[in-house]
Amino acid sequence: MKKARFVRVDVFADRPFGGNPLAVFPEADDLTSKEMQALAMEMNLSETTFVVPPTPGSGADFRVRIFVPDMEIQYAGHPTIGTFYVLAKEGRIKLKDPVTKVKMEVLAGVMPVEIHSTGGKITKVVTVQNKPEFGQVFDDPSMFVKALSLEAKDLDPSRMPVQLVSTGLPWAIVPVRTRKAVEKAAGNATAFVEVFKHIPKESGIYVTCLEPLERTSTTHSRGFSLVAGNVAEDPATGSASGCMGAYLVNRKLVKTDRVVRMTNEQGYEMGRASKIEIEVRTDGKKTIEEVRVGGTTVHMMDGVAYV
């Protein structure tokens, strides 16, 4: 049997048992795709990552394969941040204060990652996402209303329509009027299946509002996806946060400038409070040039799996 070492971390958290848990296999060269998928299913987390050598000629420093329990996906935010925290903490990346820049290869392409540090101590990791792609606008949001067990009055489709947005991984952004609507959202599996006839299979539904719980936050959000036919909630979603930030700036629902900074809170309904930093850089007019998502990570445990 093969031995595969893993590290468990909580991402977008500043203390144990917060944020989004992640399993990182930092030396996965000898694992097959089938074994990676089996380990991701065994871990039963929203994502599990496997670090392998980059493709020759890609220009990347590391290749990261990201798996949910039932498939490999193009990109995800919290796995990127947690994986590069582990690589830096283990000395695989030589830190140069205040920011160390590296390149990550994923299915979505080669993407920059920044490790911020002070005195050699990691303070946060930032994933620089792809430029946003604004997809389909759903003028009739009724199927999303049903999928989230909400009421039509909870949405404001004329001002804040449901829209598919991707910064590496597509998400259906569903803005609602109040935090109460976010809090009462509950996945309806039958209605979710209907929604996924109209959005990519690797996508999810991200419900958000501009009425945060904490004074220092900008938004209060929840992320839902369909995993093996069941609705799963994510306690902190970096990819969706980037999509949401781009959406809010593009529709001028937040004060816009060349650099728009936001803090997204998520996971509160699950007892796993998470804070996700979002930075959207524009040309000062209409074009979004860059989306960045960052946060802190907590090292939780180490282990070995046998495959």
Does residue 47 carry a catalytic annotation? yes
Closest by alpha carbon to 84, among 107, 59, 60?
A: 60
Rounded to 5°, angle at Cα 65 from 12 and 16: 25
Is residue 264 within 8 Å of residue 278, measured between CB atoms? yes
User: What is the token pair recorded at 117?
Assistant: 């540090």
Upstream peptide bond of 98 is cis (omega within 30 degrees of 0): yes
Beta-carbon count within 10 A of 280 CB: 28
Of the residues 27, 35, 42, 47, only one is catalytic, namely 47
Is residue 13 within 8 Å of residue 271, measured between CB atoms? no
Is residue 60 within 8 Å of residue 104, measured between CB atoms? yes
- 213 vs 17, 152, 181, 225, 259, CA distance in Å? 20, 23, 13, 23, 24
Residues acting as catalytic residues: 47
